[in-house]
Amino acid sequence: MDYVDIIRNRKSCKDFSNKQVDSTIIDRVVQAGNLAPIGMGNPQNFHITVVSTPQVLDMIDLKASELFKVPNSHPLYGATTLIIISVYEINDRNKMTYGCTAGCIAENMLLSAVNEGIASVCMTGIIRAINSNEDILSELNLPNGFTPVFSVALGIPTETVTEPRMIENNIISRNDI
């Protein structure tokens, strides 16, 4: 698959099966995240946590459904893996750069997932649920000073999507100066 095809085939999955993604695929997806450009040139300010333990995923799913005030929902959509991107000592001076870098890391992983033939979805609301619950933060065993800012859910889709997105040019407004 060429690069444009990968981009066209990247879609957000909101219905994962309960099948686990092979760990070698997860490793390649995480490696793609490691290839992202790092703002401020300090990769040690970023940390990736791969969560595939069902009990921890269930804790996150439950806390998110409570936070979103939608009882019995499943905000993780049944994903069997959640990759969390955390940053070190986020503050007003670095939050824009760190946020952009986390987005680049996530997008590399999302595109890699397409290339690997698995489904994915970018999840930011889940981060609010994680950061508001000390039990979940404790389970993540993050290095001191790190805060989750972005996440990507991975899994096997319940349905195979075969049609790539065909989006007209310029759906995002633009002006040239």
Predicted local distance difference test score (pLDDT) of residue 72: 85
Nearest to 77 by CA among 66, 64, 86: 64
What's residue 102's pLDDT?
94
Q: Cα separation of 171 and 71, whole Å?
A: 35
Pick one of 3.40.109.10, 1.20.1440.230, 3.40.50.10300, 3.20.20.80 as the CATH number of 3-155. Answer: 3.40.109.10
Residues of the chain with pLDDT under 70: 161-162, 164-165, 167
Identify the helix (H) or strand (E) that includes residue 105: helix 95-116
What pLDDT does residue 161 have? 63
pTM: 0.92
Query: Letter for the amino acid at 73?
Result: S
